[in-house]
Amino acid sequence: MRKELILGGGCFWCIEAVFERLNGVEDVISGYANGNLVNPTYRDICSGTTGHVEVVKIIYDDKIISTKELLEIFFELHDPTTLNRQGADIGTQYRSTILYQNIEDEELAYSVIDKVQENFDDEIVTIIEELDRFYIAEDYHQDYYQNNSNQGYCMAVISPKIAKLEDKFRDYIED
């Protein structure tokens, strides 16, 4: 069955690049969620004043990869113990978040956090929030790593995340 999951864990370029490589993932769309401005731009989001969060919408076949598996991978890809920060990306727009669209996914998110907490010394601060609105980011943000893999940020930040995925989750990677 085709499903979607919306996650935020820092810069959407990083998360998009990793989830695009997973078996069962049909598409990953970078965007902005919630917030108090209709049709925000990247410049708006970067101000940190709109309440939006950089996210990815993962469209997947849950017969191939489950929501639970996607969430477990998500918690390996970023630091869910830092509030409003991932590396050099600082602000509420970079918060660690799971945006649920139904009660089942909300309950699953809490359950997965309870399970993976044992892997972290510090408390997980990932926010579980209801999706209000999703806006697709500008075209140049889509497939960013795929189109810019030799760019400095991609090589320094995204490539190590992909290497970690390939090492730890090789059974989930598309051939």
Catalytic residue among 11, 14, 46, 154: 11
For residue 152, give the 3-state DSSP assignment: helix
CA–CA distance from 164 to each of 34, 100, 127, 167 (Å)? 30, 26, 24, 5
Distance CA 139, CA 31 (A): 10
Tell me the C-alpha distance between 85 and 48, whole Å.
Answer: 12
Q: Give the strand pairing for 85-86 and 2-9.
A: unpaired
Q: For the chain, count helices (H), then strands (E).
A: 7, 8
CA distance 33 to 52: 5
- In angstroms and rounded to an integer, the radius of gyration of the C-alpha atoms of the chain is 15
Catalytic residue flag (residue 14): no
Catalytic residue set: 11
